[in-house]
Structure 1
């Protein structure tokens, strides 16, 4: 009679202990950066008071969108991974950017070469117009060959460095980056030319 009660008491105590949530290990990473105190306080204030009406809600939405865009612009300039757009996030995309930025590409000079060829084609001389057409053809062939070479080398480097990660769309991302002049690229280049990524 007494034994059954003590067993029941132990069972209920273990059930209560199991029902209580486990406390998180303070040394374990939480998976997100700790916000600054000012950011946390402003978020608490905005969450604590609900918007008075539609205009207030729209105003708050505009402000949050504006702050998110300004963070994103700063991240594009500095290369901060936390606030980059989704298309630029991740180690694979970062390696791709570094791979492209560390090399000279013919495609990045496309715009100045195109302007030069356009000026030559406006000259009255027929020989200069023919030369500009040949230059145009040569530039296109060089860009295509350089793009194939870049894509092949990038695929090989990605297979070696990131065998288990998704590489979908990375080659197109790299080729679009080669078409931009180096100082116009966003996120800004983080490696010097000739430096190994």
Structure 2
């Protein structure tokens, strides 16, 4: 009968109407109510399993584009449009890493003509990437303002430009549109 009374809410100003439980009984009731494991190892194991399932869901979402499990930086219709906008076009910036490796190898060869060519290639690649990025910046900003006039677009253009620097096959979330398709 005392267990039934202890679970009933009572008026804080009214007298209690039952004896105070012993500390050990109160702690036991609290532990049962929390339904947490009694030992630390079991708690750590449960947390690890929960993290694994969350990471697995996030990985699958990044591979398939499932909006529910995407990380916060990739969620929302604005970010989805930016991804599709960037993935639908050819960008010079996505070839930066392979070109950088080639230019680095050329610059390490001790032939002055090849080193000069490597320096000119560096300059050319950087100038082309900057010009391409400025063009994407303006086109993307214009498209975002037309399609999403009332939604917050903070950081969306920078998100798109960072996506252009990644090799298309390695982008996460995976590209959902082919080159040439319009989002």
Instruction: State TM-score, norm by structure 1.
Output: 0.74
Cα offset, 1:124, TM superposition: 2.0
Cα offset, 1:54, TM superposition: 2.5
Cα offset, 1:48, TM superposition: 8.8
Aligned length: 151
Aligned partner of 1:57 among 43, 58, 68: 43
Q: 2:166 corresponds to which residue?
A: 180
1:144 aligns with 2:152: no
Aligned partner of 2:70 among 78, 84, 88: 84
| Alpha-carbon displacement from aligned partner over 1:22-42 (angstroms, at most 9, x marks no partner) | xxxxxxxxxxxxxxxxxxxxx
* Aligned counterparts of 2:36 and 2:167: Cα–Cα separation in 1: 46
Cα offset, 1:49, TM superposition: 4.3
1:191 aligns with 2:177: yes
Cα offset, 1:58, TM superposition: 1.8
- After TM superposition, the structure 1 = structure 2 runs for residues 100-179 of structure 1, keeping only pairs within 5 Å, are 100-179=86-165
What SS does the aligned partner of 2:166 have? coil
* Aligned counterparts of 2:68 and 2:40: Cα–Cα separation in 1: 31
Cα offset, 1:50, TM superposition: 2.8
What SS does the aligned partner of 2:90 have? coil
**Once superposed, which parts of structure 1, at least 4 consecutive aligned residues long, lie more than 3 Å away?**
none
* Aligned counterparts of 1:49 and 1:92: Cα–Cα separation in 2: 41
Unaligned ranges ≥5, structure 1:
1-46
Cα offset, 1:92, TM superposition: 0.3
* Aligned counterparts of 1:74 and 1:164: Cα–Cα separation in 2: 31
| Alpha-carbon displacement from aligned partner over 1:110-157 (angstroms, at most 9, x marks no partner) | 011111111111222111110110110010011111111111100000
- After TM superposition, the structure 1 = structure 2 runs for residues 10-49 of structure 1, keeping only pairs within 5 Å, are 49=35
Structure 1 stretch 90-99 or stretch 53-62: which is displaced more? 53-62
1:95 aligns with 2:50: no
